[in-house]
Amino acid sequence: MSDKETSGTLFGMPYNFERPSVGRMLSAYWKPGEKMLVEKPFGIGYTLNLANWRSWLVLAVAGILLWHEQSGPDVEDAKDEPVEVIVDDD
C-alpha cells in the first residue's frame, strides 16, 4: 500500500481524507475563538464555525432568502397570465 498524504493543502485549499470519527466531526463545527470559516473535518475546503456569531448570521440570511423564494408567487402561475405589450412608433 502506498503512503499517500491524507491531509494537507493544495493551492491554498485544505483537504482531509482521513476516516472521520464522531468526535472529530462534532468538534470541527464548534471551535470557540476561531474565525467564521474553519477547515472541513472531511473533504476539501472550509465550513462554518458555529461558535462564531457571524456564522449564525449567514445561516439566518440564507434561511430568510430560502423562505422568501418558496413563499413567493410561482413562476408557472405568472406564465399563464396575459402580457400587455406597448410599442411606441416614435
**The pLDDT value given to residue 59:** 96
**The pLDDT value given to residue 46:** 93
Q: Which residues of 9-43 are buried (b: 16+ CB within 10 A; e: fewer)?
A: eeeeeebbeeeeeeeeeeebeeeeeeebebbbbbe
> Do the domain assignments include residue 23?
yes
> Do the domain assignments include residue 80?
no
> Do the domain assignments include residue 87?
no
> Within 10 Å of residue 89's Cβ, how many Cβ atoms?
3
Total domains in the chain come to 1
> Do the domain assignments include residue 43?
yes
> Do the domain assignments include residue 88?
no
**The pLDDT value given to residue 48:** 94
> Do the domain assignments include residue 12?
yes
pLDDT, averaged in runs of 10, over the chain (90 residues): 78 89 88 92 92 96 94 66 84
pTM exceeding 0.85: no
> Do the domain assignments include residue 18?
yes
What is the residue range of 22's domain?
7-72
**The pLDDT value given to residue 37:** 94
CA distance 49 to 36: 5
Here the cell at position 76 is: 408557472
